[in-house]
Structure 1
């Protein structure tokens, strides 16, 4: 019964897009027709929101569709909040980018060889981890008299470095988990409390926080799809994972509206100084175009290359993408409550629709 009603809701939503199509709607319609899309999308230029929409279902059982107000896991988009917190602590004199990991986590073997700067740009050599039930089992082997966080530190520190710090590139969730521990030890606040008091509350990001596996009707619930094309018959709840494990690597939830507020504040200097933002959004790893919590690239749109600061994310029950076209002042965020999806092309096409059609320039 619920699936039949949900199908009707989706059909009505899809029909409304077709009847009132604009360039952004046309891009979304093509994506939905090609493989389906569940989640939320926002596109802005400067201070103008050009599009905010919800697609698919937020809660199949209760027949609740997604809307742009829905809270979703943001996965590795979390990393730019972690990086911003580190840079804010640098500005406030609590830490330095040249500080070693050992200064704040002395129990980490060889931590004196690893710099905070290297952890931020994925050149630390610390092996990565993926949040699964298997990871939880491995971490729990180290619990004994430790807290879960202490056990996770012990587990990561038991793994050999993949290379000499600073000599190569390895995307590392583990490094960003450790960065969130550094934030706690340097500030004296829990990671989520530091972000809330310094970023979320001042910026009015009232629907952003740390995901502790607690969900209400305001959420787009986490799902998994067994097929490439999304349809109700192939969607099931995502596997449960302990959301405490990722920490600063991928533990936050948000909405597209809150992420828009974050983008505007970050771009305008409300979050970080101009020099800190420049450092965050510049390639600091010669082996890969990695800044701090973001990557930097160029996309060819409408006859020219355009600088884009971006990150994507994928974890149980969510896939995400965030693109900031710096010189065009265009922001694109795609959040899906279905895991295992890649929105690189979709974000590009949404930005292209804005640029080619001159949207937001009046």
Structure 2
């Protein structure tokens, strides 16, 4: 990763930006939009009724034992042109991107570019602060203690700064150098986008190809995933659902900020292909044992390597959600019922509530 760091001349010479970032560190705390919250019980007869009742807008797929519980669009993909939601339409997927970044790290291990997930960051960048304490496992399971850069860099962007992923890496280093880690690595768990930006940079550095090209070559092409791609700051409304928040179009985002963290757009078809691959044989059994958190108590959620585990009684849901301007998403699977879940929404009004309501209602009423 050292080669990439040496290219960050713009950041290193911008003292004003450094001062802004250091000042913001003391006022912004990291958080997870995927935090689990309780939601009210809803009486419904079908999954379609549930999604209609909570005003879900987007495309939904829920299968159980090979049968569809729902497979359809809700609302419009573009309210100006009356474009319908569609199985082959693109949506921003936000942090669902992290499942792909984690898979790329597994591929690095297959390729012999890393030897173990217990390797520490100082092996790749000797100058990374506290790098000798942070393992790849801790990085991918949010146990590193590395603070989240997202809100700080978004604020810098609003102030006119232009940062690429390598600049943001330097921001993360500056945050740690000024204020330390949020906790001793391995002693706690706290969702942080910084973990996956670092992982994506590792993919680039070790593979000697771009992060997106590595995923294309090793995941998308073999699985014939044809319409998942690095998102652009502004969407193409002919092939992409428009994003909305509070009734207004909200589809633009500086995608460099989401590098390896939330920068992909995808279709329901491609995400269904990806979930089914993960559910079956994309990972070996040995790899699954490392990736998915096990022995989670009923009623709890835990981090694995790029995937959450939610346990409800004897039912286990492996999943990840995502949020980005105007959109929210969720993909997951339930092995006990051979179930696949793909939810891609272009309405960001009640993101956490909608996602958690759907999870709770499905686990309570459909998969128990």
TM above 0.5, one fold? yes
Q: For residues 279 and 61 of structure 1, what CA distance do their matches in structure 2 show?
A: 46
- State the shift of 1:284 in Å: 9.5
**Cα contact 1:24–1:350 (8 A) shared by 2:** no
Could you say if the C-alpha distance between residues 218 and 246 of structure 1 is closer, same or farther in structure 2, counting changes exceeding 3 Å? same
Q: For residues 24 and 85 of structure 1, what CA distance do their matches in structure 2 show?
A: 39
Q: For residues 234 and 324 of structure 2, what CA distance do their matches in structure 1 show?
A: 16
Partner of 1:293: 306
Helix, strand or coil for the counterpart of 2:175? coil
Q: For residues 106 and 337 of structure 1, what CA distance do their matches in structure 2 show?
A: 42
- State the shift of 1:200 in Å: 0.9
Q: For residues 189 and 62 of structure 2, what CA distance do their matches in structure 1 show?
A: 31
Partner of 2:18: none
Could you say if the C-alpha distance between residues 355 and 125 of structure 1 is closer, same or farther in structure 2, counting changes exceeding 3 Å? closer
- The 5-angstrom pairing of residues 337-356 of structure 1 reads 337-339=346-348, 340-342=350-352, 343-350=355-362, 354-355=366-367
Q: For residues 162 and 285 of structure 1, what CA distance do their matches in structure 2 show?
A: 24
Matched, 1:57 2:73: no
Partner of 1:125: 145
Partner of 1:175: 195
- State the shift of 1:167 in Å: 1.5
In the comparison of the two structures, how many residue pairs are matched? Answer: 314
Partner of 2:87: 68
- The 5-angstrom pairing of residues 230-249 of structure 1 reads 235-238=247-250, 240-249=252-261
TM-score (norm 2): 0.77
- State the shift of 1:104 in Å: 2.6
Partner of 1:101: 121
- State the shift of 1:283 in Å: 4.2
Question: Which stretches of structure 1, 4 residues or more, deviate above 4 A after TM superposition?
Answer: 46-50, 283-288, 350-356
In structure 2, the gaps of 5 or more residues are 1-42
Could you say if the C-alpha distance between residues 354 and 187 of structure 1 is closer, same or farther in structure 2, counting changes exceeding 3 Å? same
- State the shift of 1:69 in Å: 2.0
- State the shift of 1:49 in Å: 4.6
Partner of 2:267: 255
TM-score (norm 1): 0.79
**Cα contact 1:55–1:67 (8 A) shared by 2:** no
How big is the alpha-carbon RMSD for the aligned residues of Structure 1 and Structure 2? Answer: 2.8
- The 5-angstrom pairing of residues 1-362 of structure 1 reads 26-33=46-53, 35-45=54-64, 48-95=67-114, 96-130=116-150, 133-137=154-158, 140=161, 148-160=164-176, 161-216=181-236, 217-225=238-246, 235-238=247-250, 240-269=252-281, 271-283=282-294, 289-300=302-313, 305-339=314-348, 340-342=350-352, 343-350=355-362, 354-355=366-367
- State the shift of 1:211 in Å: 0.8
